[in-house]
Structure 1
Amino acid sequence: MTSASAPAAAPVGVIVDGYSVGKYLPAAFRRLGADVVHLQSTPEFLDCVPPPDLRPYLANVVQDAADPARTVQELAAYHPCGVLPGQETGVPPADRTAELLGLPGNPSATSALRRDKYRMIEALRAAGIRCADQLKSGDVEEVHAWARTTGYPVVVKPLSSASTDKVSICRGPEEVRAAAAEILGSRDIFGRHNDELLAQSFLDGTEYIVDVVRGPGGARHVCGVWRYDKTLVGTRPVYDRDVLIDPGAPVVEPLVTYLDTVLDALDIRFGAAHAEIMMTAGGPVLVEVGARLDGIMDPGHHDACLDGNQADLLALACVRPEEYRRAHPGDSLYRKHREGMVVHVRTTRGGLVEAVDEDALARIRALDTVHLAVPRLAPGDRMRPTTDLLSSPLRVFLTGDGPERLLADHRRIRLLADDVFRLAPN
Structure 2
Amino acid sequence: MQTRGKNVIVIVNGWYSGRYLAPAFVGHGYECIHVSSTEKTSRFGYNPLDYIANFSLERSSLSELLARLHAYSVKAIIPGCESGVVLADLLSDNFAVPRNDAATTSARRNKFQMIEALRKTGVPSMRQFASQSLSDLLTWYSESELGTVIFKPTMGARSDGVVLCSSNNDIIAAFSENHGKTNVTGVVNTEFVIQERLQGEELMVNSVSCEGDHFITDMWIGVGGLEDRISTDEYAELVMRRTEIFEKVERYVLDTLDALGIRNGAAHCEVMLTVNGPRLIECGARLSGAQLFAAVEEAQGYSQLSVTVETVLNPRQFRWRANALRASRQEGLRFVYMCSNRAGHVVNNPDLSPFAELATLERMIVFPEIGDYLPKTHDSAGRPGYAFLLSSDNQALERDYVRFRELESKMFQRLLDA
| TM-score of the two chains, using structure 1 as the length reference | 0.90
Partner of 1:231: 225
SS class of match (1:114) = helix
Partner of 1:204: 199
Partner of 1:131: 125
156, 162, 167: which one pairs with 1:161? 156
SS class of match (1:109) = helix
Partner of 2:382: 391
Cα deviation, 1:199-231, whole Å, max 9, x if unaligned, reads: 10111111111111012x332111011101241
174, 177, 184: which one pairs with 1:182? 177
Q: Is the contact made by 1:229 and 1:240 (CA closer than 8 Å) also made in structure 2?
A: yes
Q: CA deviation at 1:64?
A: 6.8
348, 355, 362: which one pairs with 1:355? 348
Give 1:133-282 correspondences, 5 Å limit: 133-150=127-144, 151-215=146-210, 217-232=211-226, 234-282=228-276
Q: Is the contact made by 1:64 and 1:71 (CA closer than 8 Å) also made in structure 2?
A: no
Q: Name stretches of at least 5 consecutive residues in structure 1 with no aligned partner.
A: 1-5
Amino acid at match of 1:268: I
| TM-score of the two chains, using structure 2 as the length reference | 0.92
321, 333, 346: which one pairs with 1:327? 321
Q: CA deviation at 1:21?
A: 0.8
Deviates more, 1:286-295 or 1:144-153: 144-153
Indicate whether 1:288 and 2:279 are aligned.
no
365, 380, 395: which one pairs with 1:374? 365
Partner of 1:3: none
Partner of 2:331: 338
Q: CA deviation at 1:19?
A: 0.8
401, 404, 409: which one pairs with 2:395? 404
Partner of 1:20: 16
Give the distance between the partners of 2:45 and 2:19, measured in 1 at CA: 10
Give the distance between the partners of 1:261 and 1:332, measured in 2 at CA: 21
Cα deviation, 1:223-281, whole Å, max 9, x if unaligned, reads: 01110124127443413111101111101122111111111111101000011111111
Give the distance between the partners of 1:187 and 1:418, measured in 2 at CA: 32
Amino acid at match of 2:10: V
SS class of match (2:187) = coil
Give 1:48-87 correspondences, 5 Å limit: 49-63=43-57, 67-87=61-81
Give the distance between the partners of 1:139 and 1:365, measured in 2 at CA: 53
SS class of match (1:175) = helix
SS class of match (2:340) = coil
Amino acid at match of 1:19: W
Give the distance between the partners of 2:296 and 2:325, measured in 1 at CA: 17
Cα deviation, 1:9-56, whole Å, max 9, x if unaligned, reads: 4722111110111011012212322121111222x234x654422121
- Indicate the percent of aligned positions where both proteins have the same amino acid: 28
**Please, what is the CA RMSD of the aligned residues?**
2.4
SS class of match (2:309) = helix
Number of residue equivalences: 416
SS class of match (2:333) = strand
| Cα separation, partners in 2 of 1:20 and 1:102, compared to 1, 3 Å | same
Q: Is the contact made by 2:130 and 2:193 (CA closer than 8 Å) also made in structure 1?
A: yes
Give the distance between the partners of 1:413 and 1:170, measured in 2 at CA: 33
Q: CA deviation at 1:390?
A: 2.3
Q: Is the contact made by 1:306 and 1:334 (CA closer than 8 Å) also made in structure 2?
A: no
Give the distance between the partners of 1:331 and 1:288, measured in 2 at CA: 29
Partner of 2:82: 88
Partner of 1:33: 29
SS class of match (1:284) = strand
Q: Name stretches of at least 5 consecutive residues in structure 2 with no aligned partner.
A: none
Deviates more, 1:77-86 or 1:158-167: 158-167
Deviates more, 1:371-380 or 1:415-424: 415-424
Give the distance between the partners of 1:25 and 1:88, measured in 2 at CA: 14
Give the distance between the partners of 1:131 and 1:332, measured in 2 at CA: 30
Q: Is the contact made by 1:10 and 1:35 (CA closer than 8 Å) also made in structure 2?
A: no
Q: Is the contact made by 2:108 and 2:284 (CA closer than 8 Å) also made in structure 1?
A: yes
Give the distance between the partners of 1:75 and 1:50, measured in 2 at CA: 25
Partner of 2:296: 302
Give the distance between the partners of 2:57 and 2:182, measured in 1 at CA: 22
SS class of match (1:239) = coil
Q: Is the contact made by 2:134 and 2:172 (CA closer than 8 Å) also made in structure 1?
A: yes
Give the distance between the partners of 1:201 and 1:334, measured in 2 at CA: 38
Q: CA deviation at 1:66?
A: 6.6
| Cα separation, partners in 2 of 1:364 and 1:353, compared to 1, 3 Å | same
